[in-house]
C-alpha cells in the first residue's frame, strides 16, 4: 500500500491543469520535491488536462493527492501508482 512516488491527475479543464502545474511544480512535500507536468494524452477528451506527478512521498494517500490538487479545479480521475507485489 505504499506509493511508488508517481501519480496522475486528470482535470476537466486544461486551464486548471496549467494552474496546478504553475503552482505545484517544485513544491516541497515532506522530504520530497514534486514534479508536476503534462502527461502524454491518452485521448482527445483529456488532452492538456492529464497531469503526471512524480516525487510524491511514499506516505501520500489517494485522498491526500486529491485534496492537494482539487483546489485547482474539478478532477476527473486521479491515482497513485503502487507496487503491484506489495500492494
Task: Supply the pTM of this predicted model.
Answer: 0.68
Q: What is the pLDDT of residue 1?
A: 62
Domain of 70 in residue numbering reads as: 52-86
Q: Is pLDDT of 17 > 90?
A: yes
Query: What is the CATH number for 76?
Result: 3.30.70.330
Q: Is pLDDT of 87 > 90?
A: no
Burial-class residue 81 by CB neighbours within 10 Å (0-12, 13-18, 19+).
Answer: middle
Query: Could you read off the pLDDT of 56-74 as tens digits, one per residue?
Result: 998 888 999 999 999 999 9
Q: What is the pLDDT of residue 41?
A: 64
Q: Is pLDDT of 19 > 70?
A: yes
Residue range 37-50: mean pLDDT, rounded: 74
**Does a structural domain hold residue 4?**
no
Q: Count the domains in the chain.
A: 2
**Does a structural domain hold residue 80?**
yes
Cell numbers at residue 86, please? 506489495
Amino acid at each position: 500500500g505504499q506509493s511508488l512516488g508517481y501519480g496522475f491527475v486528470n482535470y476537466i479543464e486544461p486551464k486548471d491543469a496549467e494552474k496546478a502545474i504553475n503552482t505545484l511544480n517544485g513544491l516541497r512535500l515532506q522530504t520530497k520535491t514534486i514534479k508536476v507536468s503534462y502527461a502524454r494524452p491518452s485521448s482527445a477528451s483529456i488532452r492538456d488536462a492529464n497531469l503526471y506527478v512524480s516525487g510524491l512521498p511514499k506516505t501520500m494517500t489517494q485522498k491526500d493527492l486529491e485534496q492537494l490538487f482539487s483546489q485547482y479545479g474539478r478532477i476527473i480521475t486521479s491515482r497513485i501508482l503502487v507496487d503491484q507485489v506489495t500492494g
